[in-house]
């Protein structure tokens, strides 16, 4: 009887001091971050096919092709797991690598402006549509993660839940800073409806 009462008392104390809120917030962050990783992986999976299609029409654009391939390799070299949000330095490196990937893809897509037949290629247009949809999903997933971290960090820092956080080792989670948000918030432009520049090479 005494053990049951003690267990009930401890449960009520933990609930009242924010322990359950911290647990819930931590799980929400893990779920939100997993979705961010899922969408980034979806984008990375599109890159090889995109590079191959562009290479078929613009094989001499070696610098751009190499750049996007290397950017993808850098992203892949970082072990992207849900636990990444507990390592602020690893988190920053991962986001920086994704920013480089965004820039590289933008330059790769820019190459198509000079190749009308590439722009008209059905596979290329399908890949650009998939990429556009993926970039939109990345933005949504990233915003959900930001919101989850904001709510959780507020709980960790607020009294009296900050005492519970310290007692059980809960710490603030890293989020997207203004700098890295700027680097990856603009998705690559994938609208090739505009006419090609005069004198553009064609195949």
For residue 43, which of 184, 192, 199 has the smallest C-alpha distance? 184
The two tokens of residue 58 are 């613009």
**2 has a pLDDT exceeding 70:** no
pLDDT band at 95; cut points 50, 70, 90: very high
Q: Please tell me the total number of residues recorded for the chain in this structure.
A: 203
Q: How high does pLDDT run on average in the chain? A: 82
The two tokens of residue 4 are 């049951």
**pLDDT number for residue 83:** 81
In eight-state DSSP terms, residue 103 is: H
**Strand blocks (E) in the chain:** none
Rounded Cα distance between 19 and 165, Å, is 8
**pLDDT number for residue 16:** 54
CB atoms within 10 A of CB 186: 13
Measured torsion, CA atoms of residues 106, 110, 111, 117, in degrees rounded to the nearest 10: 120
The two tokens of residue 196 are 């090609």
Rounded Cα distance between 125 and 50, Å, is 10
pTM, full prediction: 0.78
CA contacts within 13 A on the Cβ side of 101: 25
Q: What is the mean pLDDT of residues 119-141?
A: 94
Q: Is 67 strand, coil or helix?
A: helix
């Amino acid at each position: 009887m005494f053990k049951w009462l003690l267990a009930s008392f401890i449960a009520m104390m933990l609930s009242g001091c924010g322990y359950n809120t911290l647990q819930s917030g931590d799980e929400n962050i893990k779920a939100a971050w997993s979705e961010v990783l899922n969408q980034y992986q979806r984008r990375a999976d599109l890159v090889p096919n995109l590079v191959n299609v562009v290479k078929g029409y613009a094989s001499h654009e070696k610098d751009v092709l190499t750049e996007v391939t290397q950017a993808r390799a850098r992203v892949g070299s970082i072990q992207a797991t849900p636990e990444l949000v507990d390592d602020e330095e690893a988190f920053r490196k991962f986001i920086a690598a994704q920013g480089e990937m965004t820039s590289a893809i933008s330059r790769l897509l820019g190459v198509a402006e000079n190749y009308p037949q590439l722009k008209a290629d059905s596979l290329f247009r399908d890949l650009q549509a998939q990429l556009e949809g993926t970039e939109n999903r990345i933005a949504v997933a990233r915003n959900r993660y930001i919101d989850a971290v904001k709510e959780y960090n507020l709980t960790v820092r607020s009294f009296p839940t900050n005492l519970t956080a310290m007692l059980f080792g809960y710490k603030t989670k890293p989020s997207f800073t203004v700098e890295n948000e700027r680097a990856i918030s603009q998705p690559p432009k994938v609208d090739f409806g505009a006419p090609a520049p005069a004198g553009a090479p064609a195949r």
